Structure 1
């Protein structure tokens, strides 16, 4: 065997070992996460750092926790009912995704959590939620309850102006929708829909949610 052929065979064998090792590591990493094939979003610190317990108030004025609300895959969104643009679009997208999934025999629940408890009473947030679908749940609470829930989900919000001086104030806030699975916590994050690119639309959210639901 020529030195050149021997070197070529050795390099090929080494490449096979590296490829096999890389494949093992890749599969081992995915094998530890039953939802790895479904996930499309990377969150700094991992999904385990997002979400958690909350205590809020539903449309009927009852105090509820995450255990009461997230009994099936939930699409959780933080916003406010006076929001002029993104909140209605995101909530309509989530409601449509839930309808698509219901047609596939997968029960999900869109959840709207207000970050503006000064205006969003239980009755107001309940009526807002029902505008999108009967299965949508609206939640509010005290300032402390809402802030605690927002921090648990690592969301951002900031009021513009003074509530007493301007009852029409706006609120800056993040626009993520969190897919929360009972017993598993936050599994995925959906961004505000990009209509131009056709991403994060109702069909996309439904398809990715179905992937997670099938693996529960």
Structure 2
């Protein structure tokens, strides 16, 4: 096998792997992964600036009830009126969560005065360990504007379903505690609560800031 062919095969495998990951976002209730995968490979609208395309008719976001770091109830109504930059993760996350939150924090700094029109939100998928106090201290490490949210397992599960977030508890061999396997997209929601841009893991602060400015007009 020539080097060019090996590279082409590798790129194909990586591309298909990314699509399989996206099926967790677009899968409808009762739909198999295979069906969602096939649908995802079909015609999709062009992505907005800096984001990922989703098939037409896919809904992301919706009603939720959670609590903030002070124990106050927060619903979808509290996110209206500003753009919302939403990320699901957990405070014990060893890698992707702090990396993505750092990108969100840097994007907010890049926006300058326009950052007042954006509300960054971190929602835990580990309510068993992430108490309001814990999540409040955690988000403060990254940026003062980030709103940390938690809730009961049922409340967190409902919010994750609304945003089509995949998560599962896993215990590595020999480990004394569990980790959370989860999808790691960042969602840019409009002032009306509709999805405007979906950022892949690893999106740069510059990409986020550019996409946000495009929504601010």
Superposition TM-score, scaled by structure 2 size:
0.72
- In 2, are the aligned partners of 1:101 and 1:108 still within 8 Å (CA)? no
By how many angstroms is 1:59 displaced? 0.4
What secondary structure does 1:120 align onto?
coil
The equivalent residue for 2:90 is: 80
Q: Distance in 2 between matches of 1:70 and 1:50?
A: 15
Task: Tell me which structure has the larger Cα radius of gyration.
Answer: 1
Listed as ranges, the gaps of 5+ residues in structure 1 are 1-32, 194-199
Moved over 3 A (4+): 35-40, 103-106
Of 190, 194, 203, which residue of structure 1 is paired with 2:199? 190
Question: What is the CA deviation profile of residues 6-36 of structure 1, one whole-angstrom value per residue up to 9, with x for unaligned ones?
Answer: xxxxxxxxxxxxxxxxxxxxxxxxxxx9x98
Name 2:190's counterpart in structure 1.
181
2:119 to 109, 122, 126: 109
CA–CA distance in structure 1, aligned partners of residues 182 and 151 of structure 2: 17
Q: Which residue is 1:30 aligned to?
A: none
Extract unaligned runs of 5+ from structure 2.
Answer: 1-44
Residue matched to 1:43: 54
Given that 1:106 and 1:210 are in contact with CA atoms closer than 8 Å, whether structure 2 keeps it comes out as no
Q: How many residues align?
A: 171
Note if 1:152 corresponds to 2:162.
yes
Question: 1:171 is paired with a residue of what secondary structure?
Answer: strand
What is the DSSP-based 3-state SS (H/G/I as helix, E as strand, rest coil) of the residue aligned with 1:151?
Answer: helix
Equivalent residue for 2:210, pick from 197, 207, 211: 207
CA distance in 2, matches of 1:39, 1:179: 10
Distance 2:114 2:214 in 1: 12
TM-score (norm 1): 0.73
Residue in structure 2 matched with residue 126 of structure 1 by the alignment: 136
Inter-CA distance 46–101: structure 2 relative to 1 (3 Å threshold) = farther
Structure 2 Cα separation of the partners of residues 37 and 75 of structure 1: 15
